[in-house]
Structure formats: C-alpha cells, structure tokens
Amino acid sequence: MTDREQRAAAVRFAETWKDKGYEKGQSQPYWLSLLRDVYGVEHPEEYISFEDQVHLDHTSFIDGYIPATKVLIEQKGLGKDLLKAIRQSDGSMLNPFEQAKRYITDLPVSRHPRWVITCNFGEFNVYDMEKPHGEPEKILLSDLPKEYYRLQFLVDTGSNITAKEMEISIKAGDVVGLIYDSFLKQYKDPDNEETLKSLNKLCVRLVFCLYAEDAGIFGKHQMFHDYLVQYDTRHTRQALINLFHVLSQKKEDRDPYLDEDLAAFPYVNGGLFSGDDIEIPQFTDELRELLLTKASADFDWSEISPTIFGAVFESTLNPETRRSGGMHYTSIENIHKVIDPLFLDDLKAEFEDIKADPVLKTRERRLKAFQDKLASLHFLDPAAGSGNFLTETFLSLRRLENSVLRVLMQGQGSFGFDSPIKVSITQFHGIEINDFAVTVAKTALWIAESQMMQATADIVQEDLDFLPLKTNANIVEGNALRIDWDEVAPKDTLDYIIGNPPFVGARFMDKKQKNDLNSVFPGWKNAGNLDYVACWYKKASDMMKGTSIRASLVSTNSICQGESVANLWKPLFAEGVHFDFAYRTFRWNSEASKKAHVHCIILGFSVAANASPKKIFEDGRFQILKHINGYLVDAEDVFVESRVKPVCDVPEIGIGNKPIDGGFYLFEKEEMDEFIRKEPAAEQYFHPWYGSREFINRKPRYCLWLGDCSPAELRRMPECMKRVQGVREYRLSSPSDGTVKLADNPTRFHVENMPKGTYIVVPEVSSERRIYIPMGFMTPDIMCSNLVKLIPDASLFHLGVLESEVHMDWMRAVAGRLKSDYRYSKDIVYNNFPWPEPTDEQKAKIEQTAQEILDARAKYPDCSLADLYDPDVMPPELRTAHQNNDKAVKAAYGLKKGDAAYDSESARVAFLMKLYQKIARK
C-alpha cells in the first residue's frame, strides 16, 4: 500500500466512523476495519484478539490485544473522557490507562504490551510502556488522514531482513574474535603495541577477503578459500603474504610470471593492502582450519550489515578499550533516530512529491536534479568510531538514489550514462582517535559501497566495476577536540554533523580529557562541571555559525538536566543555537554480545533560521511544538541555576549526616545486637540510620553516635573506643587534607544534621518507575545519611505539595539522573521550586490529603515504600489518596479542569517555569 493509498483509506475510515461508536457492539468491527483497510492486514481477525480474560479479584476482559506488535487496547464508548477516572468494582478510581495497567499485572511477562491504546472511537491515546508515566500521544480520528503514520506501530513488526543481517553480523563478529585470539597466541611478543596493530590490520584484511569472495568482488565464489586450501599449514603464512602483495599491485605492475591462481585476483588498492609493515605469524593446523572452514567455507559474509558489523568487529576485538573510552556502539534503529528527522525524512518526502508529478518530462528533470542534490550533500561524524553512522547514512542515501534510478529506468533499456551512480563515499567525513577504528570504518564503507553497487547493477541491468577501491581518506585519525573540523570537512560544503560522541561524566574524566575540555571551553563559567560530550556540542555550534549546517548528536541525558542546562545551553543559546528536534530519554542498546545500556537523548540543533515547528520524539512518535527549551520542554528558555536558599518562603532543606567514618559507626541489626551484647552500655548511643535505600525499603541500618558521649563515659566502653580509634586512623590515612583534619575530632561527623523536631525525609535517588518519590516524616531519635535530604520544621502542607504530581513534574524536568533514576537535589530542584500561594481553605485541604496519603500507607505495615509505590501493585486507597492530593495542589495553583496544565505534564512544566521566572525576578 502506497502512502497515497493509505492516506485515502484513512480518509474513508474517518468518514465512516465519524460520530459512531458503541463500546459493546462496535469495538471489534472498528478495529478490524482499521487494521484491514488502513494498515493492510489481510486477515485482521487472525492478527488481533478480543475479550481475553484476566483474573484480578474478579474476571475481567481485555478489549483488544495484538500479539505481533504487543499492543493492548482499552476501548470506551464515543465521547467518553479517556483521562477521567471511573469507579471500579473494588471501589478504586481508575482511568482507562490505569485499568489497562492493572490488566497487565495478570499477563505473563512475554505478553506485557509495549504499547497501550485507550480509545473512544473519536480519539486514540497512545502510551509507550517504555515511558509508563509519560503523557499519551493523542490522535484524533478526524486527523487520521494526515497522521495515519503515527499508528504505524500497530503493524510494524520490524524488518526480517534487518534482523537476519543483524544475526549474521553478530555471528561474523564472533568468528573474527576466534581468529583474533588464535593469531594472538602465535605472535612472539603478544603484548607489544606494534604486534597488536599488525594483528588488527591482519584481521581487517582477512575480513575484506572473506567478504570479497562471497560477494563476488574477486570474480569467483570461494576464490580466497580455494587459493589458500592448496597450501599446507607450514606454507599458509607465505601464501597469505604473497596474496596481500598481489592485491596491492596494479595488473601492469605485477610479475608477468605469477602463478595463475594469484594472477587471477584483481587489484584492490585503496590503501587496504599497501605497505609491508604488517607482521604475520606462523599458522597452526587449528588456525588454518578455523580460517578455511569456520570463517570461509561455512559462513556467507555477503549478507552482513556493514553498519552493524563494523561496530561489532571493533568491539569484539577490544571491548575493554571501548568501555574505558566511553564509546558505545549503535544499532541501526538508533542511528535512524539521529539521521531521519535531521534530513532523511525530508529527502524521502521530497522524492515522493517528485514521483507524484504527473508530467513525465518534468518528473524526469526533477528526479535528475534530486539525484544531483543527493550527490552534493556532505556529512561529518567527529566521533566516527567504526563508522556506523557514516555507513548507515551512505546506505540510506544510496538506497534513495537507487529508488530514483528505478523510476528513471521505467520504460528504458539502459541508463545511458558512463556510470549511473553519483552518490559517493567521498561525501562522508570522519574523525576518530583510534587507528584501528579508522581502518574498520573505511572497510565498512567499502563493503557498503559494494553492496549498493550490486543493487544498482540489478536496476540498470549493467555490470558495474567495484574494484579498484576508491580512497576514503576523508576519515582521519586524530583527537576531534584538538583538530580543526573545517580542515576535515570544509564548512562551506558541509551540510550535516552527526554522531555519538564518547560519554564520560564530569567527575570521571582523566587528566587528558579534562585538558581537552578546558581547550574547548576556555574561560567558561562552571565548565569543569560539564560532561565530556559537551565538547562536541560546543565545537559543532562554533562550526555552524554563519552557515546552514545542522547537527544531530547523541549524548547522555545529563546535559539537559540539573546544572548542565544553565552551564551549557544558556551561553550557546545566547550565541544563536536552538533545538530543531529532540528525543527525550530512552535506553540506548548495542548490537554486540557484551551489551552497553546507557540512557540517552538525541538533540538536533542549528544556528540557521529558527523556524517552527519543532518535534519532540519518544521512540519514533513525536509531538509538534512551537519551541524546545534546554529541559526539552515546550516552554520559554528558562535556566534553573543552582540556588543556596529557596526561592519561596518555605523551610530550608539540607543534606543528612556525612560521617566519613570508614564504616566504623554503621551497623546492620545483627551486628548492632552482637556489639551491644559485648558492650551493653553502648545501647543508648545507637540510632536507626536511613539513607535513600533504607528509607524506601523501610529497613534501617544503625548508627553508633558518640558525639554526645562524655570522655569519661566513652573511656569506660572499650569496644566503642576501638571504633573511635578506627575512625581516627581511617581519617589520618586519607589523601585529603580536610579529612585528615577531621581526625582531631573522631567522634564527630564531617556534616551533622540532626533536627530537634519532626522533619521530612526526601530520598536523593528514586526509581523512574515510580509516579511519586515517596517522602515522609521522621522523629529526632532517627538519624539520616547524606543520601537523603532533610526538611526540618516542615508541615503536612509542605509534604502534600512535595508529594504532588505538580512537584513531581518539576522534579522530572529539572533534576539530574543517576542512569534513568531520579536524583533529587536541594540547590536545583527544591530551592528553585515555585510554591503555590493557597488560601487558608486550600492549605487545609492539602494538609488533609497529605494525611490521607500517610494513613493509606499505614494500612500496610508489612510493606516497604518500594512495595507501595510500585506502579503495578500500588494499593487502590493509596492511589486514590494521591489523586485527591494532586487535585488539591492543582487548585492551590489556580489550575482548573479544562486548563491545558491541569491534564498535561508538559503544559504544567511550562506553567511552572513561567511562575518560576516571575518569582525569581522579585
């Protein structure tokens, strides 16, 4: 089904179902028609199931479930409010999405949905369960003709071809790993740096030969295998040396008396086989068999994905180097998150528009001009790694060019040009610090070029010569933060900067990386608090000034959270940089056997004309926004900077106690009991001790607090004295002068915060799965660590506001993250939070709802806060108490049902940021 046909089908569907929709009688015909008529499912009754049973405290039924794409549907009648909670049989109030989430708890893990859709015939609310607390994407039936693609995930089961390429490529990486390990054992000095460089070059050459024989580049299938198999183990090494020498020679430069089997090989060049500086060790029988059988005869290299394999190839041979360097290899799906919204979507749309031109001559002229445009585009990846971004971009452009050629060829016997291909690997530029990765990147591009040339030959029905290789010296070896990018890819011809720069946190950089950062940010305020990846954003921003260059880079989500927003984006925005699109936080998966999981964002930015609309993506779906600020919110450019006092008139917040005691004062319960058995007089000096983990799990440790113990009493307790001495010695051995000084007072903590009255505890780190960060009151006899925040003199009103959906929205927008977990800070989150100014009645209502939250928790004394706030098993009365509290807090802000900020998280954050600006100016 073409785009035009699908659009027309969506028009008919929307017209047919306009103002119709009875939940019990028409739900199934509605979904069967949508899948069959709009999304091309031939037998939708076999594709979707209806009324599957789930067993909660009673039997319920799932309205619809699509196993192939893991979509769960909760259907309501026409006009029903999809965000409104309705009373359930157990008395709880749940909206349709919350109903669906309850059903999920009864499903086996293998059937847990990736997507949940709530629908009322006139509107679809789509929830991505990778972001179970995010806002739904809303699609109106009336908009389906122009937004049908937003429901494409209903039938998008993924490409089987891509899956096969991925499987083959990963297996190929495993084969290369075996070859590498076997060769390494044969070297005389396997730890020598030059030895390892030789081995890397050898593996690259062997991979090219293995690919070339299967892809037909050498001219005959298994030509490499058949050449080597005639030599026994003792002579295989010399045979390989002879072959490499021949592959680097033009026909006219070769020995005229070469053996026929060697002379039959073509000239390769391209720098791949040039030079005799490669050390090749002797073969063993096992190594020869591995190369000839497992790597050659038993494996087809022609179907590998060069994008995936290049990354897997590199990571297989030196995974430790990649991890320590902060690099992460990338899936094809994730690469397209970078390049599609940057340029590829627009190019595809332009091509579709040209194809639809009804005038033959005009269409042909436009197609040729479009092909020229494709051939004029230049790309730079300044952290190229194994070249997977460049390779996949090249493949995407060549596929598009082949589509152009396919249309031009219609009705023609031949293309009529010397070469129909105009897109070239010379359009792709890269900088990479690792010499081996540079070689892998070049090889991956050559393999990609070979595959696409074969595809073009099939279209134009002509034989096209792939060899000799064209040089791709545009990928250079060097430190991207010390190289002038303009010398690698001149800015007057460059169009796009893409890539996945290394991820190293501000506190984890080595001295060399710190020097790199200082060279990129000379004289910048707070530059030392920036992550390493920020350097690439700065250099890209500098390069694109005065040009139309656009960029799309991957980074850890930290640069759009916490202090980083003001430190990095405030000065860059002042220089004209703006976001064109962005992907909010998602999990970045690798394709290698040793997977790297990182929580990332993607930022598309430029300094060219700041046009709207903007797009915010969440795993392929997007919202259209007018503006994207540094927190990836549709709001003005607000910069929430570190503040030592609250911006509003509320109790001050502080960190808990920081002992710096080497663990001598902290005990598990069993350890404390044993200590007291030995030293009964010490019992009065023990206090329950809570950090984030202990508080959330309601499982305290215990602290021996001797700061108030008199010297005479302390000297009568020898076990306590041992602990004091242990702390003293621990502090004296510290490399920090400040810690050494603390040894003078070993019974005291470095930071002491022991409120005299009741106080609120806020965990510093909490799981992103929780809708609310669980907070609560503590009494003065309980001590807390510096892994929680303490608010003395706080009331139920303060707890109610802090536990509200409004405060959670603010926290999610401005807080930092530990991986994807929330990291609550006092100077950014709490001290900048714009509090409401309630009436006495509104304040009393919040106090009441806050108490209801505490009362609901108290009904489950055997449960931890981790249990109670697990969104899958949260008790109905606790959920209801929070919902009532949310309403009370929204009312205190003047938000009413029907206001955008009442129901929408992003609108609430925008509202809060405007309020923050107003308060901060006072």
pLDDT band (50, 70, 90) for residue 592:
very low
Please state the rounded mean pLDDT for residues 719-739.
96
Identify whether the C-beta of residue 32 lies closer than 8 Å to the C-beta of residue 73.
no
Tell me if the bond preceding 746 is cis, omega within 30° of 0: no
Give the DSSP letter string of 754-789: --SS-EEEEESEE-TT-SS---EEE-TT-EEBTTEE
Q: Which pLDDT does position 451 carry in this prediction?
A: 84
Q: How far is CA 883 from CA 84, 798, 861, in A?
A: 11, 17, 22
pLDDT band (50, 70, 90) for residue 136:
confident
pLDDT band (50, 70, 90) for residue 325:
very low
pLDDT band (50, 70, 90) for residue 1:
low
Q: Following CA atoms 536, 541, 542, 546 in sequence, which dihedral angle do they give, to the nearest 10 degrees?
A: 150
pLDDT tens string 230-256: 999 999 999 999 999 999 999 999 999
pLDDT tens string 526-561: 888 899 999 999 999 999 999 999 999 998 888 888
Return all residues near 350 (Cβ < 8 A) that are at least 6 apart. Answer: 370
Say yes or no to pLDDT of 591 above 50. Answer: no
* Higher-scoring residue by pLDDT: 467, 811: 811
Q: Which pLDDT does position 904 carry in this prediction?
A: 82
Q: Which pLDDT does position 418 carry in this prediction?
A: 65
853 conformational bin, left if phi > 0, alpha if psi -120 to 50, beta if neither? alpha
Please state the rounded mean pLDDT for residues 598-610.
87
pLDDT tens string 474-527: 999 999 999 999 999 999 999 999 999 988 877 788 899 999 999 999 989 888
Give the DSSP letter string of 138-192: EEEGGGHHHHGGGGGGGT----HHHHHHHHHHHHHHHHHHHHHHHHHTTSSSTT-
Which of 557, 538, 554, 613 has the alpha carbon at shortest distance from 580? 613
Which of 737, 714, 736, 735 has the alpha carbon at shortest distance from 725? 714
Element (H, E) at 451: helix 435-460
Alpha helix (H) residue ranges in 642-779:
669-678, 692-697, 711-715, 718-732, 737-742
Q: How far is CA 764 from CA 327, 398, 785, 811, 867, in A?
A: 28, 49, 10, 12, 18
d(CA 806, CA 912): 8
pLDDT band (50, 70, 90) for residue 603:
very high
Say yes or no to pLDDT of 579 above 60. Answer: yes
The three-state secondary structure class of 123 is strand
Please state the rounded mean pLDDT for residues 66-95.
86
Residue 688's DSSP bridge partners are: 702
Put the strands of the sheet holding 654-655 in their side by side order. 654-655, 788-792, 759-763, 776-778
Q: Which pLDDT does position 626 carry in this prediction?
A: 87
Q: Which pLDDT does position 390 carry in this prediction?
A: 95
Query: Residue 288 has which token pair?
Result: 């020869």
Return all residues near 447 (Cβ < 8 A) that are at least 6 apart. Answer: 208, 211, 215, 304, 306, 309
Q: Which pLDDT does position 740 carry in this prediction?
A: 96
Identify whether the C-beta of residue 703 lies closer than 8 Å to the C-beta of residue 783.
yes
Please state the rounded mean pLDDT for residues 579-583.
94
Query: Residue 225 has which token pair?
Result: 């295998």
pLDDT band (50, 70, 90) for residue 326:
very low
Say yes or no to pLDDT of 596 above 60. Answer: no
Please state the rounded mean pLDDT for residues 180-192.
91
Identify whether the C-beta of residue 445 lies closer than 8 Å to the C-beta of residue 406.
no
Identify whether the C-beta of residue 292 lies closer than 8 Å to the C-beta of residue 225.
yes
Please state the rounded mean pLDDT for residues 31-51.
89
pLDDT band (50, 70, 90) for residue 872:
confident
Q: Which pLDDT does position 893 carry in this prediction?
A: 97
Dihedral sign, CA of 322, 449, 163, 165?
Answer: negative
Buried b (16+ CB within 10 A) or exposed e, 330-369: bbbebbbbbbbbbbbeebbeebeebbeeeeeeebeebbee
Pairing of strands 137-140, 123-128: antiparallel
pLDDT tens string 269-313: 767 887 767 899 999 999 999 999 999 998 888 878 787 777 677
d(CA 799, CA 797): 5
Mean pLDDT of the chain: 88
Measured in degrees and rounded to the nearest 5, phi and psi for residue 702 equal: -135, 145
Say yes or no to pLDDT of 593 above 50. Answer: no
d(CA 110, CA 67): 10
Put the strands of the sheet holding 821-823 in their side by side order. 765-766, 821-823, 816-818
Amino acid at 256: P
User: Among 24-28, 119-123, 335-339, 566-570, which is the least confidently predicted range?
Assistant: 24-28
* Higher-scoring residue by pLDDT: 379, 148: 379
d(CA 61, CA 478): 60
Amino acid at 482: R
Q: Which pLDDT does position 169 carry in this prediction?
A: 74
Say yes or no to pLDDT of 588 above 80. Answer: no
Say yes or no to pLDDT of 413 above 60. Answer: no
Which of 759, 865, 767 has the alpha carbon at shortest distance from 808? 767
Q: Which pLDDT does position 2 carry in this prediction?
A: 63
User: Among 77-91, 163-177, 485-499, 782-796, which is the least confidently predicted range?
Assistant: 163-177
pLDDT band (50, 70, 90) for residue 464:
confident
d(CA 123, CA 889): 29
d(CA 120, CA 107): 24
pLDDT band (50, 70, 90) for residue 819:
low
Say yes or no to pLDDT of 417 above 60. Answer: no
Say yes or no to pLDDT of 323 above 50. Answer: no
Measured in Å, how far apart are the chain's first and last C-alpha atoms?
59
User: Among 321-325, 632-636, 657-661, 780-784, which is the least confidently predicted range?
Assistant: 321-325
Q: Which pLDDT does position 841 carry in this prediction?
A: 97
* Higher-scoring residue by pLDDT: 315, 190: 190
Query: Residue 294 has which token pair?
Result: 């497992």
Query: Residue 648 has which token pair?
Result: 């509003």
Q: Which pLDDT does position 166 carry in this prediction?
A: 67
d(CA 188, CA 52): 66
User: Among 297-301, 656-660, 682-686, 837-841, which is the least confidently predicted range?
Assistant: 297-301
pLDDT tens string 637-669: 989 988 999 999 999 999 999 999 999 999 999
Q: Which pLDDT does position 662 carry in this prediction?
A: 94
pLDDT band (50, 70, 90) for residue 26:
confident
**Furthest CA-CA distance within the chain:** 105
Return all residues near 820 (Cβ < 8 A) that are at least 6 apart. Answer: 557, 585, 587, 599, 768
Q: Which pLDDT does position 327 carry in this prediction?
A: 41
Which of 787, 248, 325 has the alpha carbon at shortest distance from 532? 325
Q: Which pLDDT does position 161 carry in this prediction?
A: 43
